[in-house]
Structures are given as structure tokens and as C-alpha cells.
């Protein structure tokens, strides 16, 4: 009897050790890229200085097919391209950070496959071409198709521009009301006008929509008002930053973090600067006011840029 128990336990242990973990993949088809090397990249905006942004590579076979295995260590947001350059937003944040407040064309995230990864899921890019229209990228996932639809269609500037794309001469309250209507229509259409669980796809998209509205409105606000830092309207708008827990992979969260730190520096110095270069002072303000779920990466970036700038300056001298 004792031998039988030992045998059963040994068998169970052997089976547990040899049980293979299910593999999950991102696969796709692109007949225009046969023979090309595809690059799977992490899309982590608060970590835009990381040079190890390439997660994996794959070669497109003669049928136009390619595939990547999804690993547990991958970030929630990834993108796929046929070049090894950093993601577009990374390049802007690093090379031209002073223009961040102009926002970005949402097509940055719609030009090539951009995927939000959920646990235990396989993703198929059923169609992918270079025409850059609504049907140029089609997934097997309702959520990913929804995400691309948002990036293809979002334009909060419709709330404050005319038919010639000129800024309207309206009050800040009117402009914000118009932008808020556009924001709320997206939230309602995507069933996000309610509480969502943190660090989920729904949380990510709600963050992009909500903070995207604020960031795009600020383009009009900086152009059409005197932007006094003690204005109650502006203060309330800036405190959107602290109103909820935002998704750490959101590019709009990164932009509003930059806005908020600039706001705190402007308040300190009674200025209306749109951007502050990396400095010890900016580091200290960020350390005090950046949100906890992104603070470490954000202040590390400032530290690193200060060091790089000092090194360059010493070399020039």
C-alpha cells in the first residue's frame, strides 16, 4: 500500500513538472511584406529612453505569414513594424520634447498594428496593408478593432476649430464643453461611461479618451487665452491628473504628467512656460507630484537626461 502511494505521488509530481504551459501568440498576414523582418516592440511611453524596445523579430514567409510568441514579461501595449526604429512617440519625447503639448496624430497608433495584450489570449491580424484606411488593419479581436477605430476617428479639435481648421474665438468654457461632448460620446459608444477595473483594456482606453480630451483642449487653451496660472478653470483642469488612477501605458497620461509638472513649476515661479528642460529642480518637483504608478520611470528619465546633457556640455567645452 505504501509503495502504491509513493508511486502515485511520484507520477503526479512528474506530470506537474512536465505539463507544458500553454503558448499564446500574435500572428498575422501581410502580402506586401513577404521576406521582410518584422519587429515586435514594447510601447511603454514612460520608458521611452529604453533602447531595448524590441521584444522579438520574425520573418514574413512566402505566404505573407508571421508569428510571435507572447511572453509573460511583455508590457500590456506592443506594436509591430517592418523597421527597427523606436516607436514614433519615443522619438518625439526624446528628440523634440518641447513640442509634446501640441499632442500627436492618433494615427501614430493606427498606422501599424498596436495591440493591448490580455492574459491567455491569442491575437490574429487577419489583414494588414499599407493603404492606411479604415480596413487596412483588421484583427480577430473586437477590442483591438475598437481601439484602432478610436485612433482613426478621434479628433477633439472639432470642438474648437472651424471648417478651415482655424481656432474658434469662443470662451474657454464653450470650448471645453464642446470637447467634453466629443469625449463623452466616445465613452458612451465604447461602454466606458462607468467604473472600470484598473490595468485592463477598458482602463487603458478610458484613460486615453479622458486624458486625450484634456491634452487636446490645452492646445486651444494655450493659443487662445492668456493662460494665467491662478485661473480657477485652469487649476481645476490640471487636477484631472489626480482625479483617478490612470493606466500607466497611456501616452495621454504621459503628456498630462508633463503638463502637470510644468504647471507646478509655473506656479512656483509665476511663469507660463509650456515646457521645462530636465533639471534638478524639475526632478524634485516630479518627485513630489508625479503619480506613484509612473513616478519611478518619470524621474529616472529626468535624471538620465540631466546626465546626458552634462556629458554633452563637458564634451563641447
| pLDDT single digits (tens) 147-176 | 999 999 999 999 999 999 999 999 999 999
In a domain, 4, yes or no: no
pLDDT of res. 243: 97
Q: Which of 126, 153, 180 is the last residue of a domain?
A: 153
Please, are residues 49 and 146 in contact by the beta-carbon 8 Å criterion?
A: no
Residues 146 and 160 in one domain: no
Q: What is the rounded average pLDDT of the residues 134-158? A: 96
- Does the pLDDT at position 8 exceed 80? no
Alpha carbons 243 and 256: distance in angstroms, whole number: 12
Q: What is the arithmetic mean of pLDDT over 200-222?
A: 96
The answer to the question of residue 15 being in a domain is no
Q: Verify that 145 and 176 share a domain, yes or no.
A: no
CA-closest candidate to residue 148, choices 79, 50, 70, 216: 79
Q: Which of 95, 128, 153 is the last residue of a domain?
A: 153
Closest CA to 189 of 207, 214, 206, 211: 206
**Do 234 and 87 share a domain, yes or no?**
no
| pLDDT digit string, tens, across residues 39-81 | 999 999 999 999 999 999 999 999 999 999 999 999 999 999 9
Given this model, what pLDDT does residue 310 score?
84
Residue 13 lies in a domain: no
User: Are 177 and 140 part of one and the same domain?
Assistant: no
Flag whether pLDDT at 32 surpasses 70.
Answer: yes
**Residue 119 pLDDT > 90, yes or no?**
no
Residue 293 placed within a domain:
yes
Per-residue confidence band for 104, with pLDDT thresholds at 50, 70 and 90:
low
pLDDT at residue 106, rounded to an integer: 76
108 band by pLDDT with thresholds 50, 70 and 90: confident
Shared domain check, 168 and 46:
no
Is 61 in the same domain as 100?
Answer: yes
> Does 203 lie in the same domain as 87?
no
Confidence of residue 102 (pLDDT cuts 50, 70, 90): confident
180 and 278 co-located in one domain: yes
Cell of 233: 478653470
Residues 149 and 160 placed together within one structural domain of the fold: no
Same domain membership, residue 145 and residue 29: yes
Query: Which pLDDT belongs to residue 20?
Result: 59
Same domain, 27 and 90: yes
Q: Which of 153, 178, 210 is the last residue of a domain?
A: 153
Q: How many domains are there within the chain?
A: 2
Tell whether 83 and 97 lie within a shared domain.
yes
Which of 97-101, 153-157, 311-315 shows the lowest per-residue confidence on average (mean pLDDT)?
311-315
Q: Which residue has the higher pLDDT, 120 or 197?
A: 197
Quick check: 35 pLDDT over 80? Answer: yes
Alpha-carbon distances, residue 275 vs 46, 101, 143, 164, 310 (angstroms): 17, 8, 35, 28, 19
CA distance 291 to 286: 9
Average pLDDT, the chain: 91
Question: What value does the mean pLDDT take over residues 129-146?
Answer: 96
218: number of Cβ within 10 Å: 22
Given a cut of 80, is residue 316 above it in pLDDT?
Answer: no
Task: Look at 226 and 234; give whichever has higher pLDDT.
Answer: 234
The range of the structural domain enclosing residue 162 comes to 156-312
Assess whether pLDDT exceeds 90 at residue 227: no
**pLDDT band at residue 6 under the 50/70/90 scheme:** very low
| 315: confidence class by pLDDT, cuts 50, 70, 90 | low
Amino acid at each position: 500500500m505504501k509503495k502504491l502511494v509513493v508511486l502515485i505521488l511520484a507520477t503526479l509530481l512528474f506530470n506537474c513538472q512536465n505539463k507544458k504551459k500553454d503558448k499564446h501568440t500574435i500572428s498575422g498576414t501581410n502580402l506586401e511584406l513577404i521576406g521582410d523582418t518584422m519587429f515586435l516592440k514594447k510601447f511603454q511611453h514612460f520608458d521611452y529612453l529604453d533602447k531595448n524596445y524590441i521584444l522579438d523579430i520574425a520573418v514574413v514567409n512566402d505566404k505573407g505569414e508571421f508569428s510571435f510568441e507572447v511572453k509573460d514579461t511583455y508590457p500590456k501595449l506592443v506594436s509591430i513594424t517592418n523597421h527597427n526604429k523606436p516607436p514614433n512617440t519615443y522619438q518625439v519625447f526624446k528628440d523634440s520634447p518641447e513640442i509634446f503639448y501640441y499632442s500627436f496624430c492618433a494615427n501614430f497608433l493606427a498606422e501599424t498594428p498596436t495591440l493591448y495584450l490580455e492574459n491567455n489570449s491569442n491575437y490574429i491580424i487577419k489583414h494588414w496593408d499599407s493603404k492606411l484606411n479604415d480596413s487596412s488593419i483588421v484583427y480577430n479581436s473586437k477590442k483591438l478593432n475598437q481601439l484602432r477605430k478610436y485612433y482613426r476617428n478621434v479628433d477633439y479639435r472639432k470642438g474648437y476649430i472651424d471648417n478651415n481648421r482655424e481656432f474658434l474665438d469662443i470662451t474657454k468654457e464653450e470650448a471645453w464643453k464642446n470637447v467634453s461632448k466629443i469625449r463623452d460620446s466616445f465613452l458612451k459608444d465604447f461602454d466606458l461611461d462607468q467604473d472600470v477595473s484598473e490595468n485592463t483594456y477598458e482602463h487603458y482606453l478610458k484613460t486615453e479618451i479622458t486624458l486625450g480630451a484634456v491634452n487636446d483642449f490645452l492646445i486651444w487653451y494655450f493659443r487662445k487665452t492668456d493662460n494665467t496660472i491662478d485661473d480657477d478653470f485652469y487649476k481645476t483642469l490640471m487636477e484631472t491628473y489626480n482625479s483617478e488612477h490612470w493606466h500607466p501605458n497611456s501616452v495621454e497620461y504621459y503628456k498630462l504628467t508633463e503638463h502637470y509638472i510644468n504647471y507646478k513649476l509655473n506656479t512656483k515661479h509665476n511663469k507660463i512656460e509650456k515646457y521645462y528642460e530636465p533639471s534638478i529642480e524639475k526632478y524634485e518637483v516630479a518627485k513630489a507630484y508625479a503619480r506613484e504608478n509612473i513616478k519611478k520611470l518619470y524621474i529616472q528619465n529626468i535624471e538620465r537626461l540631466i546626465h546626458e546633457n552634462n556629458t554633452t556640455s563637458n564634451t563641447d567645452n
